[in-house]
Chain A
Amino acid sequence: MSEKNPLKNLLANKMQRRTFLKWSGAIGLPVIAGGIGTKMLIDRKEEAKVVVAKDSEKIISTCSINNCGGRCVIKAHVKDGVVVRVSTDTQAGGDFATPPLRACVRGRNYRNMLYHPDRLKYPMKRVGKRGEGKFKRISWEEAIETIASEVKRIGDKYGPESRYVNYASGQSWGLHGGKNAARKLLSLTGGYLNYRNDYSSGAGNVATPYTYGTNNSGSSFDTLLHSKLIILWGQNPSEMIFSTPYREYLMQAKKNGAKIIVIDPRYTDTAIAFADEWIPILPTTDNAMMDAMGYVIITEKLQDQAFLDKYCIGFDGEHMPDGVAKQESLKSYLLGEKDGTPKTPEWAEKICRVPAEKIREIAREYAKTKQAALIQGWAAQRQAYGEQFMRGGAQLACLTGNVGKLGGWGAGTGYWNRSNIVFPFSYENPVKASIPCFLWTQAVEKGTEMTAADGLEGTDKLKTNIKLIFNMAGNMLINQHSDINKTTKLLEDESKVEFIVVSDIFMTPSAKYADILLPGTTFFERYDIGVPWCFGDYVVFGEKTIDPLYECRNEYDVFAEVADKLGVKEKYTEGRTILDLVKESVERTRKEIDPNFPTFEEFRKQGVHHFKYDSPLIGFKDQIDDIEKKPFETPSGKIELFSKALWDMDQHDEIPAIAKYIPSWEGPEDPLKEKYPLQLIGWHYKRRCHSTYDNQSWLEEAAKQEMWLNPKDAEKRGIKNGDRAQVFNDRGSLMIDVKVTPRITPGVAGIPQGAWYTPDKDGLDQRGSLNVLTSQRPTPLAKSNPQQTNLVEVKKA
């Protein structure tokens, strides 16, 4: 029988002896197992439709709105509801009216970001101590209920000034986003404490207007095609994308014969790609070189005297504001008439290490070349006396008469803008009190003690410290703010800030400090319109490519539900969805700003819109053409090389009325250098946008997180290329691999900023997060971040 029926034989004899089956055959199963309540596979609907869609790949044009200066076109190739790959703008280059908006290495990684296994997927609430990283999955209902009741409780108990929406830039260049959603909700329920300024060009934003009356001191990039000399002072557009087409203009300027000089402590990718000459300089000493350039220009009579006489206040004794002594003039300072120190190139060389002869050469070249564009990056103003750097550059532009002329450049903050769209999501905060964004930790600790001297505006005194923080798509809560060890300690004290909400797409160091943690969406999962930083004549359509993954939600929708709980939903949404906001922006832009703007459907189809102009935008051209009719927006109506307003603040040592070199605390002249001999700087790395994408492995492959150190400094410390080292000062300590390279000037260590703070069990950061070592001491005038001003020591691990 068994030979005739091998199956029976198998089952009866062989299998029966198989213990797994013998065991499982005998067990009883709980009713629930694999049954009702756990079933996730259901009968399928819409059979026919998907069969058709299966092979056809749809290409959807969309756009990211992170805090990159550019906006690029991201083309999502979608198949069966899944993004299978991304590509970018395929339009040919060459026509400067419609430059291609191609993605860089960061943009090519977007699919990996979208489908990364570490995405935050569900709402969570904190269960351990704050910052410990222990969370429990909760329902959206519970998350929203908790947020609504805390917003109300804390508002009722402490007043609206206790509620704060932290500086965050993960979603910053679109129409909506978490920060604005939170602000609107708070506006409708009593208000919140405002902040001013930013972490990017904070010192400059406050300083440049004292010279020019505005930060719009730049010109459209096509003006560079007419420049004969371009000086990029601390600007690195090869890594830090100021505007997507910027480099194309620079390349064309170079082809047109412009000489390009890069001044930077590092031999940057920009220096490699564009520079005819690289001038290494010590951090925080830029103004010494600027002063010396001014000295050379004046003593060799190369200044544009007519320009200075007609447009400027404070160059020489003859052009001082009423009531100020002649020897307070710029000229007098540079010649050392009052302090006895002429600001000679030899004087500067000792400070900034640029050879005196080289300073002379550059000063002469800059003064004699018509026209020359001195363009300042913002790294050098993120230092102890960053205000001086921005006004110092503008000062040189004025000495050489390069302001308001085609091919010249006003230096200073350097914004320019002429293309706008309507932002329909608006709110009005009933609270007028505001703090400088960098001082939020101070407002947590002792907000009620802050005064005008701390940059408090809109009120004489705050009634409360910050008690509630919304941190939406941002890493400023921990990682990007100075002095991480100080900040973590502050936030760990749950009696200070009582409630923190974080929304993000990944578990960032800031997200760890959430009480309620919300899974946000990527740009693929929502509609938007992406705009570049101020520099650019283009906007990019952000098409929703797929539905939000997991339980991720757009903050706009989350706060609509919170608003519902608090009875203000109608006022919050005004009946609009996110898509409605996008449509409204397009319609109103056509009506209110530019009738040539495409319709919603046209824009969606094109994916991008280039604004077209007949002529370049030249910063301050109107003023230079006719200063009587169009004065500068300064108190005097002229360019204020000497600012009476600053003079009247009466803090001449740290807030001088003319730009000048001020030796920095933790600069090369600080006695602390004995203990911590290296100056530490950071830079915007090409593999991240600030701290965004730090967890993306492709990008780490493209550019590893490592510290640059000059061979001389490495050798002294017995460090070889690739060695791991400890970097430390009184504020903290971190571990990082070292790249030994002559591409950084001796005496300086460079760590790319934005790496995610990753403490080991002893609290020692293992990733190289710069802000473990930076200081919370603000700049004197703007109360801005000095994150490039650090002294450290390095030792081999």
Chain B
Amino acid sequence: MTSTTESIHIQLQSFLLSRKKCYQLLHLLFFVPEKLETLFEIQRDNTFEELGEFHEGGKILHDFFKHLSTEQIKREKEEYQRLFIGPGPLVAPPWESYYRSKEHLLFEEWTYQVREQYHRFGLQYRKENNEPDDHLLLELEFMIYLSDLCLHEPTEEKIEKLLTTQISFLEEHLIIWIPFFCERVIENTNSQLYLGAAMLLEDFLSFDLESLVEVREGTRICLKKIH
């Protein structure tokens, strides 16, 4: 019994770690491009080289990082501001409520829903009620948090529950609005960074959902056998 339980936990390690890294990387790509060291580290590591072999977004990102320069980062920072910060009408508002509410407003019911999820896990946005909780970076951070929780969870039932939470969060939130968000980015930017990042984000999320559902299925079958 014990050994089987451990084995689910252990078996899932590499899967969970891989996808957590993916979320971390996406989080980094959509974070304000100001940490020069980090960006040059990606360049040095050729992080996107392999991805570029099979994914268009990866290819664009690989090209981008290959030619990265301080000057280029400065331009990306301007683009980041234009796309996601303002001032004025944003090209691609990075909040879920914007895409889901009829009136394209912020602080709509989806803000509440994700906030409730954060609260359930004893978390809250540092700027709760000051900025909306359904910002892309927060939702990604929450996915990182859940992946990590799952990664360190030894109990099989809890693993299964955590997988379900992540599936639901994807299904009820990210998967619904991210395609619209990415479409806005892709249609409106000439930046290789944000073009590639948006393509990767959209595709990875649907891939992750698919994988999680399969893995949960596998886990459930295993659990049945154990009991």
Contacts and interface: CB of A to CB of B under 8 A. Distances in A.
Nearest to B218: A7
Contact of A517 (B17, B87, B222): B87
Q: Which of B7, B86, B142, B208 has the most CB of A within 10 A?
A: B86
Contacts of A137: 81, 85
Contacts of B54: 19
B108 to A, nearest CB: 7
Max chain B C-beta neighbours (<10 A), residue from A111, A135, A511: A135
Contacts of A517: 87
A30 B12 CA distance: 23
Given A24-B18, A40-B137, A112-B105, A34 B218 contact: no
B93 to A, nearest CB: 5
Interface stretch (A42-50, A146-154, A398-406, A645-653): A42-50
A46 to B, nearest CB: 9
A117 B93 contact: yes
B35 A32 contact: yes
A623 to B, nearest CB: 53
A118 B89 contact: yes
A697 interface: yes
A298 interface: no
Interface stretch (B24-32, B164-172, B173-181, B190-198): B24-32
Contacts of A19: 51, 54-55
A718 interface: no
A330 B104 CA distance: 60
A537 B12 CA distance: 72
A37 to B, nearest CB: 8
Majority-rule SS of B interface residues: helix
Contacts of B27: 33-34, 38
Contacts of B85: 121-122, 137
B214 A14 contact: yes
A117 B105 contact: yes
Contacts of A83: 107
Nearest to B204: A20
B107 A82 contact: yes
Given A19-B54, A27-B47, A33-B24, A11 B141 contact: no
B141 A30 contact: no
Contact of B15 (A21, A30, A697): A21
Contacts of A116: 105-106
Contact of A10 (B81, B95, B104, B214): B214
B141 A40 contact: yes
B130 interface: yes
Task: Report which residue of A7, A14, A550 has the largest number of chain B beta carbons within 10 angstroms of its beta carbon.
Answer: A7
Given A507-B87, A547-B130, A23 B51 contact: yes
Q: How large is the interface on B (under 10, 10 to 19, 20 to 34, 35 or more residues)?
A: 35 or more
A280 B88 CA distance: 41
A549 interface: yes
Contacts of A112: 103, 105
A270 to B, nearest CB: 30
A225 interface: no
B124 A24 contact: no
A647 to B, nearest CB: 53
Contact of B88 (A21, A44, A133): A133
Contacts of B8: 7
A30 B41 contact: yes
Contacts of A136: 78, 81
B222 A507 contact: no
A135 B126 contact: no
Contacts of B137: 38, 40
Interface centre among A32, A50, A697 (most CB of B within 10 A): A32
A588 to B, nearest CB: 33
B123 interface: yes
B131 A550 contact: yes
A96 interface: no
B144 interface: yes
Interface in B112-160: 112, 115, 118-119, 122-131, 135, 137-138, 140-142, 144-145
B196 to A, nearest CB: 14
A75 B25 CA distance: 44
A8 interface: yes
Contact of A38 (B31, B41, B222): B31
Nearest to B98: A117
Chain B CB within 10 A, most for which of A8, A23, A111:
A23
Interface string B4-42: 000110011011011101111101100100010110011
Contact of A11 (B15, B31, B125, B135): B15
A749 to B, nearest CB: 29
Contact of B125 (A4, A41, A511): A41
Nearest to A45: B124
Which interface residue of A27, A121, A547, A550 has the most chain B CB atoms within 10 A? A27
B1 interface: no
A117 B90 contact: yes
Contacts of A115: 105-108
Contacts of B218: 6-7, 9-11
A21 B211 contact: yes
- Among the interface residues A30, A83, A133, A550, which one has the most CB atoms of the partner chain B within 10 A? A30
Q: Kindly name the residue among A28, A40, A697 whose own CB sees the greatest number of chain B CB atoms within 10 A.
A: A40
A45 B105 CA distance: 27
Contacts of B87: 120-122, 124, 135, 507, 511, 517, 519
A83 B47 CA distance: 44
A34 B86 contact: no
A699 B221 CA distance: 56
A24 B122 CA distance: 29
Contacts of A120: 86-88
B71 interface: no
A23 B50 contact: yes
B83 to A, nearest CB: 13
Contacts of A35: 24
B204 A40 contact: no
B55 to A, nearest CB: 8
Interface in A544-594: 546-550
B129 A41 contact: no
B187 interface: no
Contacts of A22: 18, 50
A458 interface: no
A92 interface: no
Given A11-B215, A511-B87, A117 B123 contact: no
Contacts of B129: 80-82, 546-547
A52 interface: no
A117 B108 CA distance: 11
A8 B11 contact: yes
A5 interface: yes
B122 A33 contact: no
A760 to B, nearest CB: 15
Given A5-B222, A26-B50, A30-B42, A15 B15 contact: yes
29 contacts: A7-B8, A11-B11, A11-B14, A11-B215, A20-B203, A21-B18, A24-B18, A27-B25, A27-B45, A29-B21, A29-B24, A30-B42, A32-B35, A33-B38, A40-B137, A41-B118, A42-B124, A47-B122, A50-B119, A82-B111, A115-B107, A117-B104, A118-B88, A506-B88, A517-B87, A547-B129, A549-B130, A549-B131, A697-B103
Q: Which 5 A-B pairs have the closest CB atoms?
A: A507-B88, A7-B218, A34-B24, A25-B18, A81-B129
Given A41-B123, A549-B130, 16 more contacts: A7-B11, A7-B218, A18-B207, A25-B21, A26-B50, A30-B38, A30-B42, A41-B125, A41-B145, A44-B122, A47-B119, A81-B129, A121-B86, A135-B81, A507-B89, A697-B104
Interface of B: 7-8, 11-12, 14-15, 17-19, 21-25, 27-28, 31, 35, 37-38, 41-42, 45, 47, 50-51, 54-55, 58, 78, 81, 85-90, 93, 95, 98, 103-108, 111-112, 115, 118-119, 122-131, 135, 137-138, 140-142, 144-145, 203-204, 207-208, 211, 214-215, 218-219, 221-222, 225
